[in-house]
Structure 1
Amino acid sequence: MLVDLLPHLMLLALVILLFTGFPVGGVLAGVGVGFALIGVVIDEFPIPTLFLVPYKIYDSVGESLVYPAVPMLLFMGVALEISGAARELLLCLQRLLARVPGSMCISVIVIGMLLAPMAGVIGASVATIAMAAMPTMLAQRYRPEIASGAIAAAGTLGVIAPPAIMLFFLSDAIGVTVANMFLAPIAPILGLAVAFITFFVVSDFVWKRPRLDERKTESEIGGSIVLYLVRSLVLPVGLIALVLGSIIAGWVAPSEAASVGAVGAALLIFLYRGFRPSLLREAFYRTMLLTGMVFFVVMGASIFSLVFRFYGGDDIAVDLFDALEIGDFGVLLVVLAILFVLGFFIDWIEIVLVSLPILYPAISQLDFSWYVGSAGLSKVWIGALIALVLQTSFLTPPFGFALFFLKGSAPPSVRMVDIYRGVFPLVLIQLAMIAAVLLYPAIVTVIPTMVLL
């Protein structure tokens, strides 16, 4: 029957239209409404069901404790960039680590873990770090591939570091608490950061890059070292730690913690750049654009999923994996492979809001409680794996989503081949971490278990 083909045709239409370059939210809503009208014509979709669309959108956004925090976290990231906190923190760390080989690379990795989570989308994350760090790294005679690798790794690592906005949406998509989703990737992120830093320190020795004049570096700080550290290091890091810690500790709701972070970031604009209301207006404007983009996709995905599920689309993934008969681990690996490939072409917002809900009915039937320890920890483990796989996908040549944003933000002297060469060894480190998490789930479950149980 034609109605049995409709969910498959919806997916086909979605894939084709996504590659046309039209706004993703518009494509999702258009496909949903279009196929609903087709169902009305063939008498398979009752017209009154269309009136459920506003309720579906409200249920997705209005009833969520997660989504209200998103605009404020986006504002926090934009404000930290406009204030110059990112560059101040970068230079402060680099000056403090002046005697350490690869000090700038280490500083960039730390910056990515601290500031990239609030950038929201992978492009903004990588571009923000590239504009702050790339010119300085090239001026300090870092090879283009080393500078590119450090920036790409930092930008993608920050996308899954708490309080990353991606983790908010992922927690909602797989049905775990925000606190659990924040804690799960901490150990892998720290492990990756240590591995990346080790790689860059060794590379600095191998390439024998000229070191900074340490006396000049110390004299550049000027004035009181304590005041300098408070201004450039303690304030931005403390603000992020306050937001993250209050959410994990359960002291306040995510939206309340994010509002405190937004106010603090706004104050940093005035502290670093003087009382300039125009900068605050710019931060509001850029936040409005980012928020509109995110929630346009959310609303479009709500419309698409309503129609898709009405036609029985939830059964597609389940029936496919049942037919393959590959077991729970096989299903998990196939799902991760699909998400990995999707990460080459689309940002995490579309993947988490559209692709993951299509695959989730199959994921929800997997039973790893015997392997991980409990059904709840199994969800946390799968969520961390999805985050790591997407992060790796964004970094992987030749289609890595982050690599093209890096090329667009880098000086013309940095070639695409330099970027590919720079990220290749880092991708191998990423894949090794994913394999370790697959083999040893305790890497991601031990911290949530210790803190929350």
Structure 2
Amino acid sequence: MEWLSLLLFFAVCGALLLGYPVALTLAGVSLMFAGIGALFGVFDTSYLLTIPSRLFGIISNTTLIAVPLFVLMGVILERAKIAEDLLTSMSAVLGRYRTGLGVSVILVGMLLAASTGIVGATVVTMGLMSLPTMLKRGYSPSLAAGTICATGTLGQIIPPSIALVLLGDVLSSAYQKAQLDMGIFSPDSVSVGDLFVGALMPGLLLVVMYLLYLWAVSRFSPDQVPKEGQSNEHTSIWPLLGALIPPLVLIVCVLGSILLGYATPTEAASVGAVGALILAAIKKTLTLSTFKYVTTETTKVTSMVFLILIGASLFSLVFRGFGGEDLLKSIFTSLPGGLFTAMLLVMFVIFLLGFILDFIEITFVVVPIVAPILIVMGADPIWLGIMIAVNLQTSFLTPPFGFALFYLRGVASDIVKTEQIYKGVIPFIIIQLILLIIIAIVPSIVTWLPNIVYG
């Protein structure tokens, strides 16, 4: 019976590859397997009785309220054209350097990641604004496309991130379940704020690695970057400060309120949404049509997330009903090398799933199953969450189904070829995998700041 759980998993992946909607596929295939299993007496139907309480718990989860608020904040800042002002001002100041425009793209992408956290919006915005200019200045198409795609994915790891909000909620449940499995009854949990704090250093380290790669390309492959920078010694820094200060203030208000303990991530998300509305009003971009657009887009994204979460919850219940969790536990505990081998296997599977699945599906389908087992085996939950987040970030870049590649392809179909985009992202995928290895070898990169902040 336990092996039927693996058959269920592969059936879901197969249905997704055929192009069926994710949420309906997760729920539909799972209920079909449950019905057939109950008919032949190999499925524990008592798991289905918990569906109403599980769905009510999802809808009433206060942590997940941060999702629509962060989405609203990101869409408002996108429409307010904060990125355009930042990129124009920063590239003017750094234009005297050969890679000044590329550095500006990475730094602006970092700020957008810390203020919006929406990968699609960042890639599309940077692609429309900077790709034609980078090509005109003399950057190779592959380097320009790879830089923009990789920079757009920073929203996955740099807080406040929607991916970290979802991971935090899933890991909180996984941590509590792991403690019950170990016979520990404790009110301690893993919060979204823990992941936000833990992700700060890896996110900044990844930005530094991107910048170092750009420097290495200019040094060892100079034909991929402009032959010389633009002379702009008399450019004033004041326009840059005017474009930089508003989003920085918003970032400090959102992250600072969480780090200092003044607000929960959900409360901080509301601060961010209101702050984004104020910035849009100051820039006189908060029109009625803009407000209609941002509320519609927020509703679409939020509905998608919650519908996938409901489908994934049904999948998880049926998977457990077939004994899949016990099967995985026996497999992981029997592996030579203990936690190291188990983590290596999980990271490899998540990396492969990133080729065909979005981070939301992987977070809701895979993490609830494997996280409790890994935590029982000794994995630090915050470290585990950041490892998974960095791994999931690669899913946006891995060909052929990386969403960042699709976003850039959609807005740059006339000026770059698909193979140039694929070629350009490969070095950045390698950089992210190197970061994953560094975090695995030195877990304190993730854990030391949460220990300082939360004692």
TM-score normalised per structure 1: 0.88
The amino acid that maps onto 2:424 is: G
Residues 1:52 and 2:42 aligned together? no
CA distance in 1, matches of 2:427, 2:104: 19
Deviations 1:143-200 (A, max 9, x none): 2122112112211222111111111111222232222211222222222211211222
Asked whether the 8 Å contact 2:359–2:395 carries over to 1, the reply is: no
CA distance in 1, matches of 2:404, 2:378: 33
CA distance in 1, matches of 2:129, 2:357: 25
Task: Specify whether residues 362 and 36 from structure 1 end up closer, same or farther in structure 2 by C-alpha distance, changes over 3 A only.
Answer: same
The aligned runs of 1:13-52 (5 Å cut-off) are 13-42=11-40, 50=48, 52=50
The amino acid that maps onto 1:395 is: L
Q: Which stretch shifts more, 332-341 or 16-25? A: 16-25
Q: CA RMSD in A?
A: 2.5
Asked whether the 8 Å contact 1:101–1:201 carries over to 2, the reply is: no
Partner of 1:314: 325
Residues 1:383 and 2:403 aligned together? no
Asked whether the 8 Å contact 1:339–1:389 carries over to 2, the reply is: yes
CA distance in 2, matches of 1:130, 1:68: 30
Partner of 1:451: 453
Residues 1:209 and 2:207 aligned together? no
Q: Which stretch shifts more, 430-439 or 46-55? A: 46-55
Partner of 2:203: 189
Q: In the TM superposition, what is the alpha-carbon distance from 1:408 to its structure 2 partner?
A: 2.5
Partner of 1:374: none
The aligned runs of 1:296-311 (5 Å cut-off) are 296-311=307-322
Task: Specify whether residues 255 and 17 from structure 1 end up closer, same or farther in structure 2 by C-alpha distance, changes over 3 A only.
Answer: same
Partner of 1:7: 5
Residues 1:147 and 2:147 aligned together? no
2:257 to 246, 256, 272: 246
Deviations 1:333-392 (A, max 9, x none): 111111111111111100111111222243122225xxxxxxxxx222222211222223
The amino acid that maps onto 2:406 is: F
The amino acid that maps onto 2:126 is: I
Partner of 1:84: 81
CA distance in 2, matches of 1:296, 1:197: 38
Task: Specify whether residues 52 and 393 from structure 1 end up closer, same or farther in structure 2 by C-alpha distance, changes over 3 A only.
Answer: closer
The aligned runs of 1:31-430 (5 Å cut-off) are 31-42=29-40, 50=48, 52-62=50-60, 64-116=61-113, 122-175=119-172, 176-204=190-218, 206-207=222-223, 208-214=226-232, 218=235, 226=238, 228-229=239-240, 231-368=242-379, 378-397=380-399, 400-430=402-432
Asked whether the 8 Å contact 2:201–2:445 carries over to 1, the reply is: yes
Q: In the TM superposition, what is the alpha-carbon distance from 1:108 to its structure 2 partner?
A: 1.6
Partner of 1:373: none
Task: Specify whether residues 86 and 214 from structure 1 end up closer, same or farther in structure 2 by C-alpha distance, changes over 3 A only.
Answer: same
The amino acid that maps onto 1:179 is: G
CA distance in 1, matches of 2:349, 2:139: 36
Q: Which secondary structure does the structure 1 equivalent of 2:262 belong to? A: coil
Q: In the TM superposition, what is the alpha-carbon distance from 1:317 to its structure 2 partner?
A: 1.5
CA distance in 2, matches of 1:302, 1:117: 29
Q: Which stretch shifts more, 229-238 or 156-165? A: 229-238
Structure 1 gaps, min length 5: 369-377
Task: Specify whether residues 274 and 364 from structure 1 end up closer, same or farther in structure 2 by C-alpha distance, changes over 3 A only.
Answer: closer
The amino acid that maps onto 2:74 is: G
CA distance in 2, matches of 1:119, 1:346: 22
CA distance in 2, matches of 1:275, 1:83: 7
Task: Specify whether residues 329 and 104 from structure 1 end up closer, same or farther in structure 2 by C-alpha distance, changes over 3 A only.
Answer: same
CA distance in 2, matches of 1:11, 1:425: 31
The amino acid that maps onto 1:211 is: G
Q: In the TM superposition, what is the alpha-carbon distance from 1:43 to its structure 2 partner?
A: 5.4
Identity of aligned residues (%): 39
The amino acid that maps onto 1:236 is: P
Q: In the TM superposition, what is the alpha-carbon distance from 1:90 to its structure 2 partner?
A: 1.6
CA distance in 2, matches of 1:48, 1:361: 21
CA distance in 1, matches of 2:203, 2:94: 21
Q: Which secondary structure does the structure 1 equivalent of 2:98 belong to? A: coil
The amino acid that maps onto 1:356 is: V
Q: Which secondary structure does the structure 1 equivalent of 2:355 belong to? A: coil
Q: Which stretch shifts more, 288-297 or 426-435? A: 426-435
Q: Which stretch shifts more, 157-166 or 5-14? A: 5-14
Deviations 1:208-264 (A, max 9, x none): 43422416x83xx7xxx64x4454111122112211121222211222211121122
Q: In the TM superposition, what is the alpha-carbon distance from 1:271 to its structure 2 partner?
A: 2.8
Q: Which stretch shifts more, 162-171 or 396-405? A: 396-405
Q: Which secondary structure does the structure 2 equivalent of 1:260 belong to? A: helix
Asked whether the 8 Å contact 1:345–1:401 carries over to 2, the reply is: no
The amino acid that maps onto 1:190 is: L
The amino acid that maps onto 2:227 is: R
Partner of 1:375: none
Deviations 1:7-61 (A, max 9, x none): 2332232111111212111111212332333345345668786453232112134
CA distance in 1, matches of 2:243, 2:82: 7
CA distance in 1, matches of 2:306, 2:158: 22
Task: Specify whether residues 136 and 287 from structure 1 end up closer, same or farther in structure 2 by C-alpha distance, changes over 3 A only.
Answer: farther
Asked whether the 8 Å contact 1:158–1:164 carries over to 2, the reply is: yes
